[in-house]
């Protein structure tokens, strides 16, 4: 398994020629999320319906960028082509994480890391049912949740810098983190073949 430094380096290399497109993708995603969140009741309902398809689209956008070194903004909305699957996947993840959180906040956080590869798996194994993808994510992440946590934590300095720039830095930080997350998945995805 590559170190966090190596994963971040590979992320920067992947972003070298696609920073503009990646930032634009994050801005579109953020704008949609902001618009949905601005309407209290309707926004909550719409958010529940579209968060899965949007998260899947965002994941596929960055997977495509890392693997092909180029991508298309239309991919951001690819989750709506598989709306029911992505809605159910996000709904189930939310329910399971919430139930674990009832025990205490830490089990809920651990659960969220367990399910974090679900959309990646649904992209690479499109015939899977959402519940099966969640199960595979849980198995795949066994023994790797801490590694993913430390990868996220390794961006802490960048997070502070982004705050100091009155949030402007987040425009660059968000695609950087997502690309590093894809590089993490690329490192472990081979183990999916062993999961029945």
Render pLDDT for 98-127 as a digit per residue (tens, 0 to 9): 999 998 889 999 999 999 999 999 999 999
HSE at residue 98, side-chain half, CA atoms within 13 A, is 6
Confidence class for position 159, pLDDT limits 50, 70, 90: very high
pLDDT at 13 over 90: yes
The token pair at 9 is 């380096």
pLDDT for the residue numbered 71:
85
CB 171 within 8 A of CB 157: no
Render pLDDT for 27-70 as a digit per residue (tens, 0 to 9): 999 999 888 888 777 878 888 899 999 999 999 999 999 998 77
CA angle 76, 122, 30 (to 5 degrees): 30
Query: How far, in Å, CA of 103 to CA of 166, rounded?
Result: 36
Other CB atoms within 10 Å distance of the CB of residue 190: 8
Please list, in sequence order, all residues whose beta carbon lies within 8 angstroms of the beta carbon of residue 192, skipping any fewer than 6 positions away: 121, 124, 125, 136, 140
Query: What does pLDDT average to over the chain?
Result: 94
Query: How far, in Å, CA of 81 to CA of 135, rounded?
Result: 23
Across 130-177, the runs of DSSP E, i.e. the strands, are none
> What CA–CA distances, in Å, run from 108 to 100, 146, 193, 194?
5, 14, 27, 27
Read off the pLDDT of each residue in 138-160 and give the average, rounded to a whole number: 96
Report pTM: 0.93
pLDDT for the residue numbered 37:
81
Read off the pLDDT of each residue in 131-145 and give the average, rounded to a whole number: 97
Task: Name the percent of the chain lying above pLDDT 70.
Answer: 100
């Amino acid at each position: 398994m590559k170190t966090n430094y190596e994963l971040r380096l590979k992320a920067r290399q992947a972003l070298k020629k696609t920073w503009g497109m990646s930032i634009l993708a994050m801005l579109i995603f953020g704008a949609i999320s902001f618009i949905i969140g601005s309407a209290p009741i309707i926004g909550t309902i719409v958010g529940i319906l579209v968060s899965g398809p949007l998260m899947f689209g965002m994941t596929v956008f960055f997977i495509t960028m890392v693997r092909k070194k180029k991508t298309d903004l239309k991919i951001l909305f690819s989750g709506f082509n598989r709306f029911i699957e992505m809605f159910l996947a996000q709904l189930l993840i939310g329910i399971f994480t919430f139930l674990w959180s009832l025990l205490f906040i830490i089990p809920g956080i651990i659960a969220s890391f367990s399910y974090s590869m679900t959309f990646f798996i649904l992209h690479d194994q499109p015939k899977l049912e959402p519940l099966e993808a969640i199960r595979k994510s849980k198995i795949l992440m066994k023994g790797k949740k801490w590694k993913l946590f430390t990868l996220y934590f390794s961006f802490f300095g960048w997070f502070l810098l982004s705050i100091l720039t009155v949030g402007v830095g987040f425009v660059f930080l968000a695609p950087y983190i997502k690309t590093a997350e894809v590089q993490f998945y690329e490192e472990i995805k081979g183990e999916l073949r062993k999961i029945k």
